[in-house]
Structure 1
Amino acid sequence: MARSLDGLVLSPVADQTPGQVGTRTRFSYHEREGRIWAEYAGGDVERGHLVGTREGDVLDFRYVQLTRDGTTSSGHCVSTVVGLPDGRVRLEERWAWESQEGSGTSVVEETHS
C-alpha cells in the first residue's frame, strides 16, 4: 500500500472543462483509519469537499463543490493511489457527476515541496 495521504497537497495535472477542477486547484488531504477527506479550492472552484474511504490503494468518495459563479454540484469518484518514481503520490481517478450529466477520468499528483 502506498503511503498515507494525510497532510498531502495534490493538484490536477491537466485542466477539466471550464467551471470545474483545474491545474490551479489544490486538494488538502487527510486520512485516518481507512477514512479520507479533503478540502479543495482554486481556479473556478471557490470551495469543495470530499469524504470517503480507503481500502488498500483504492479510494471511494463523494465530492461536493461551489464554483465562483455560484453553481453547486456533486459526484462520486473512485481513485487508485500510485507511487511515483520520485516518491510523490498520484491519484488516477474515475469520476461521475451525480447532480448533472457527465463523467470522465483525471489525474492529480502531490505537489512538489
Structure 2
Amino acid sequence: MDSLDGRKFKAVADTVGGEVEASTEFTYHEKDGEIWAEYAGGKISRGYLVGTRTGDTLDFRYTQLNTAGETNTGHCVSRIETLADGRLRLTEKWEWESRSGSGTSVVEEVG
C-alpha cells in the first residue's frame, strides 16, 4: 500500500457540478491512517481536505474558498488505483454538504 504523503495530484478533466478543474492541484499528506491535503487552482482559491484511509479507500470532508469569495463544504469517498506507470489515480465520489449537487471526479498523480 503506497503512502500518499507528499504526492501531488491534478484533475484529469473539469468536474461537472463541482469547482475542481484540470488546473487544480492537490498536495496530500498521510500519517497513521489520517489523510489531509491542500489544494488550489482554477475556480478554487484555497481548499483543504481531512479524513481517514482504510486500505485503498479514503473518506474525507473538504472545505474550499472559490475565486468568487464563496465557501463550500462536502464529503468524498475515493478509491486509490495504481496506474501502469506506477503513478496513483484517485476516483472520487463526492457530494456537496453546503449546497445541492454530487458527482464523480478523477485525479492523477503528477510528476
Q: Within the alignment, does 1:105 sit opposite 2:92 as a pair?
A: no
Query: Which runs of 5 or more residues in structure 1 are unaligned?
Result: none
Deviates more, 1:18-27 or 1:55-64: 18-27
Per the alignment, residue 36 of structure 2 pairs with: 37
Q: CA deviation at 1:95?
A: 0.3
Per the alignment, residue 68 of structure 2 pairs with: 69
Per the alignment, residue 78 of structure 1 pairs with: 77
TM-score relative to the length of structure 2 = 0.97
Q: Once superposed, what is the RMSD of the aligned Cα atoms?
A: 1.1
Identity %: 60
Aligned equivalents of 1:47, 1:17: Cα separation in 2: 19
Aligned residues: 111
Q: CA deviation at 1:27?
A: 0.2
Q: CA deviation at 1:19?
A: 6.9
Aligned equivalents of 2:54, 2:38: Cα separation in 1: 20
- Is the 2:35–2:52 Cα contact (8 Å) retained in structure 1? yes
AA of the residue aligned to 2:72: S
Query: Which runs of 5 or more residues in structure 2 are unaligned?
Result: none
TM-score relative to the length of structure 1 = 0.95
Per the alignment, residue 47 of structure 2 pairs with: 48
Deviates more, 1:9-18 or 1:92-101: 9-18
Q: CA deviation at 1:16?
A: 1.8
- Secondary structure at 1:100 match in 2: coil
- 1:94–1:14 distance in 2 versus 1, CA, 3 Å: same
* 1:45-95 deviations in Å (ceiling 9; x for gaps): 000000000000000000000001101100000000000000000001100
AA of the residue aligned to 1:24: S
Per the alignment, residue 22 of structure 2 pairs with: 23
- Which 4+ runs in 1 deviate beyond 4 A? none
- Secondary structure at 2:99 match in 1: coil
Q: CA deviation at 1:18?
A: 7.6
Aligned equivalents of 2:91, 2:81: Cα separation in 1: 7
